[in-house]
C-alpha cells in the first residue's frame, strides 16, 4: 500500500520573485536555495528549504499557463500543497479506487521526480500535488 512520507512543499504563486523574497527571505529568514525554470509548467520556481520541506515561490513565465490564470483571477497566494509519496503509481491507483479525480491519468516525469495533481473538487477546494522523488 502506497503511503505519504511528508509534506514536500507548499507552493505560493507570485507575480515577482524578487519582491516576494523581501518577505520570505529578508523578513522570515528562509534562505533561497535556487531558482529553476520549469518549462513543462510554464513557470519559474524559487526553492526555499524549511526543515525537510520547502516553500516554493511560483511565477508564471507565460500568459497561457494555469499559474498565470490563477494569478490573474485570484492574485498571489497559496497555490497547492504537495505530499511526497513512496509510490506514485500505487497512490494514484488507491485514490482512483476511492473515486478521487486526478488531473491526469499518468504522472508527469521530470528530472528527479514524478508528479500528478488531484483535482480540487475531490479535496474540498485545495489543489494537491503528489510527488515521488526518483533520484
Residue 133: name the closest of 53, 72, 33 by CA: 53
Strand partners, 23: none
What's this model's pTM, rounded to 2 decimal places? 0.91
What is the band of 102 on the pLDDT scale with cuts at 50, 70, 90?
Answer: very high
CA dihedral 114, 6, 127, 55 (to 10 degrees): -90
User: In the chain, how many domains are there?
Assistant: 1
User: What is the model's pLDDT at position 99?
Assistant: 97
Write out the residue range of the structural domain in which residue 16 sits.
4-133
- The whole-number average pLDDT for the span 108-130 is 95
The count of other CB atoms within 10 Å of the CB of residue 43 is 23
Is 126 strand, coil or helix? coil
Question: What pLDDT digit, counting tens, does each position of 45-59 carry?
Answer: 999 999 999 999 999
What CA–CA distance (Å, rounded) separates 18 from 91?
Answer: 36
3-state secondary structure of 103: coil
Q: What is the CATH number of the domain that holds 71?
A: 3.10.180.10
Grid cell in block for residue 125: 477546494
- Mean pLDDT, to the nearest integer, of 64-85? 96
Percentage of the chain surpassing pLDDT 70? Answer: 100
Q: What is the pLDDT of residue 135?
A: 78
Amino acid at each position: 500500500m502506497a503511503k505519504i512520507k511528508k509534506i514536500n512543499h507548499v507552493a505560493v504563486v507570485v507575480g515577482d520573485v524578487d519582491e516576494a523574497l523581501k518577505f520570505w527571505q529578508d523578513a522570515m529568514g528562509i534562505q533561497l536555495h535556487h531558482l529553476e525554470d520549469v518549462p513543462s509548467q510554464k513557470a519559474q520556481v524559487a526553492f526555499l528549504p524549511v526543515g525537510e520541506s520547502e516553500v516554493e515561490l511560483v511565477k508564471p513565465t507565460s500568459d497561457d499557463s494555469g499559474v498565470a490564470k490563477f494569478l490573474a483571477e485570484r492574485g498571489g497566494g497559496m497555490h497547492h500543497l504537495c505530499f511526497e509519496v513512496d509510490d506514485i503509481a500505487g497512490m494514484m491507483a488507491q485514490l482512483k479506487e476511492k473515486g478521487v479525480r486526478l488531473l491526469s491519468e499518468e504522472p508527469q516525469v521530470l528530472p528527479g521526480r514524478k508528479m500528478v495533481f488531484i483535482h480540487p473538487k475531490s479535496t474540498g477546494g485545495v489543489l494537491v500535488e503528489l510527488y515521488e522523488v526518483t533520484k
